[in-house]
A and B are shown apart, each in its own frame.
Chain A
Amino acid sequence: MTSEKTSTARAPRDPYRWSARGFIAPGVLLVAVLLYLPLLWTTFLSFTDYNGLGDPEWIGFENYAEMLDDPQFIGSVLNTLLWVGGTLLVPVGIGLGVALLTWKLKGGVWLRLPFLIPYALSGIGVGVIWSFILGSNGALDQALAAFGVADTPRWLVDAPLNTVVMILATAWQGVGVNALLFTIGLQSIPKEPLEAAKLDGATGFRLFRSILWPMLRPLTAVVVGLSIVASLKTFDIVQGMTKGGPGRASETLALTMYKETFVNSDYGLGSAIAVFLTIVTLAAAILYLRQQLSSKNEG
């Protein structure tokens, strides 16, 4: 990957460097202007005391101190970590399973469809129907009662059960996307190594471990990377189902941020939490991706 030329002479100019810059410029520009500029403003606000009216007043790191002082802060962090772990286990795990099962299977496309439909549904319908299913004496309890299970926990009230249950509800929509991405990864595995391994008699789990899993790495990185990022940002489903309650038992960092910013109009504190969350997410993503992608670039 590194240039083999000696370091005594000036390395010859990369003939594609202007072309490359041209290709990447639109992406960088749009993202920088639309997404990063507002983020800079938010970062600035995190060092101020601001309620949306009047002008922001500089207070240095006070917001960050207040954020760390909050006794519930650890709880929010733990819930967020629970989301990350749960999202990697369930939607990613099942997604991979579905992709493997449907790979090179007759009618595989249609067998994958039931998993994709949930993602196509509007958030409004999904939020309402899961509340409906998980409420006490809701659809789930009624189904369990039909099987003779009478005493069920209060799915959305008892923590940490409610977080687990919400992770499963999110998984319902997430499995399809992951399965699709893994499928694309499986389909782009070159034929030769695959045929060779099969001729060697590798099947099932051995095939998976020796050929499929390693060659799936680029797309696995996508799925896992996106899952880490998305799960750290978890907001909509928790806000919809429990609002972080009861008390603050199921609150995640994104919810804490939302509450301080939009409910309490403490934009400074909310921004500080957002910045904290962004740094954590970025660090996690970079660490993971660097490790995954540094050994790539074979070609």
Chain B
Amino acid sequence: MSRAIRTTVLLVLGLIWLLPVYLLLINASKSPEGFTSKESWMPSDFALFSNFGEAVRLSGLAESAASTLLYAIVSPAIAVLVGAAAGFAIVALRLKRGFLWFVVIFGGTVFPLQMILLPLFDAYSRVSLFDTQLGMIIVYTAISIPFSAFVMRNFFTGIAHSVFEAAVLDGATTWRIFARVYLPMASSALVAIFILQATFIWNDLLLGLVLSQSDTVRPIVTSLAGMQSTYGGAQMSVVLAGGVLVSLPTVVLFLFTQKFFARGLALGQ
């Protein structure tokens, strides 16, 4: 397909895709007093920043921001490495019954999160991990590992085994091969996993709801969700503004990491 056609199709599709974002922004900017649902496509006021302020005031999310940042950086980073290590063990080191162990790790993502919440809460409170930042980091890391292991395992199958053998002949230890050869080759996959998991953790509501209480430990979306309620909760434009505010860091993250996906990679060549 010609370049012009492809670009046009993508532009049109992309614009359609951004329409709900447009709606989100203009409706988050409407002042609560003047808000109507009748003309949802037309912007009316620019109360975005005062709505931001109201959202922050109502939900107390200022304190959550720092800890959520901590979770969203540390947990995916660890999970990416642990997942890559697992993939490496299965594919390059040819771990015996590799598929079985892979299923064991992947199986961790198979059941609905709600089902493990209460036992986790009980266990956490017994070992004093409840309402601690460490506890949150541990659980966020654990839930990020299956996805990471899955992608990395599959990604590593695309690397010719001769690469591994050559490195062995060069006298490298397995750790060295992992860290100096395989990881750099997988940089785009690693970054993709990181940003996807970081976003997932940043946006977490449930785990934060059940495993934490103090404002300094609670993640940001859990704090924000408290605002939404039929029992005298915040007005819709304030809730939307809160949603926009909380989304800004992840959008910025996506914007700045795109360059990792611009070029191709040379794998085992």
B228:A124 contact, CB within 8 angstroms: yes
B10:A111 contact, CB within 8 angstroms: yes
The count of A-to-B residue pairs whose CB atoms sit within 8 angstroms is 309
> In the docked arrangement, what's the CA distance between A223 and B83, Å?
17
> In the docked arrangement, what's the CA distance between A41 and B119, Å?
7
A117:B110 contact, CB within 8 angstroms: no
A124:B112 contact, CB within 8 angstroms: no
> In the docked arrangement, what's the CA distance between A89 and B247, Å?
28
| Contact residues in A for B232 (Cβ distance below 8 Å) | none
Q: Which of B3, B110, B259 contacts A281 (CB 8 A)?
A: B110
Interface centre among A125, A172, A188, A297 (most CB of B within 10 A): A125
B240:A184 contact, CB within 8 angstroms: no
B83:A20 contact, CB within 8 angstroms: no
B86:A23 contact, CB within 8 angstroms: yes
Give the distance to chain B from A80, nearest Cβ to Cβ, in Å: 11
Q: B103-126, CB under 8 A of A: which get 1 and which 0?
A: 111111111101111111001000
Cβ of A110 within 8 Å of any chain B Cβ, yes or no, is yes
Q: Which of B7, B20, B150 contacts A111 (CB 8 A)?
A: B7
Q: Which of A42, A137, A233 contacts B37 (CB 8 A)?
A: A137
A14:B243 contact, CB within 8 angstroms: no
> In the docked arrangement, what's the CA distance between A277 and B113, Å?
12
B178:A23 contact, CB within 8 angstroms: yes
Q: Which of B28, B110, B155 contacts A278 (CB 8 A)?
A: B110
A129:B24 contact, CB within 8 angstroms: yes
Chain B interface residue bracket vs A:
35 or more
A142:B40 contact, CB within 8 angstroms: yes
B110:A34 contact, CB within 8 angstroms: no
Give the distance to chain A from B23, nearest Cβ to Cβ, in Å: 6
Cβ of A9 within 8 Å of any chain B Cβ, yes or no, is no
Interface centre among A20, A177, A285 (most CB of B within 10 A): A20
Q: Which of B95, B108, B151 contacts A222 (CB 8 A)?
A: B151
Cβ of B141 within 8 Å of any chain A Cβ, yes or no, is yes
> In the docked arrangement, what's the CA distance between A183 and B264, Å?
9
Nearest B residue (CB) for A267: B118
| Contact residues in B for A233 (Cβ distance below 8 Å) | 111-112
Q: Which residues, 254 to 275 on A, are CB-close (under 8 Å) to B?
A: 254, 257-258, 261-262, 270-271, 274
Secondary structure of the B side of the interface?
helix
> In the docked arrangement, what's the CA distance between A99 and B7, Å?
12
| Contact residues in A for B9 (Cβ distance below 8 Å) | 101
Give the distance to chain B from A278, nearest Cβ to Cβ, in Å: 4
| Contact residues in A for B181 (Cβ distance below 8 Å) | none
A229:B109 contact, CB within 8 angstroms: yes
| Contact residues in B for A184 (Cβ distance below 8 Å) | 155, 188-189, 192, 261
Q: Which of B20, B110, B205 contacts A285 (CB 8 A)?
A: B110
| Contact residues in A for B134 (Cβ distance below 8 Å) | none
A142:B24 contact, CB within 8 angstroms: no
Give the distance to chain B from A196, nearest Cβ to Cβ, in Å: 14
Q: Which residues, 189 to 236 on A, are CB-close (under 8 Å) to B?
A: 190-192, 204, 218-219, 221-222, 225-226, 229, 233, 235
* 26 A–B contacts from the bound complex (CB under 8 Å): A14-B94, A19-B93, A22-B89, A27-B86, A35-B142, A101-B9, A109-B258, A113-B258, A117-B254, A120-B251, A122-B243, A123-B205, A125-B28, A128-B243, A129-B243, A132-B27, A187-B263, A188-B155, A188-B267, A191-B269, A204-B1, A222-B154, A235-B114, A278-B111, A293-B154, A297-B91
Q: Which residues of A contact B (CB under 8 A)?
A: 14, 16-17, 19-24, 26-28, 30-39, 41-42, 98, 101-102, 105-126, 128-130, 132-133, 135, 137-139, 142-143, 172, 175, 177, 180-181, 183-184, 187-188, 190-192, 204, 218-219, 221-222, 225-226, 229, 233, 235, 254, 257-258, 261-262, 270-271, 274, 277-278, 281-282, 285-286, 289-290, 293-294, 296-297, 299
A-B contact sample (12 more), CB < 8 A, given A35-B116, A105-B6, A125-B247: A31-B108, A122-B203, A177-B196, A188-B267, A233-B111, A261-B114, A261-B115, A274-B114, A278-B110, A285-B110, A296-B157, A299-B157
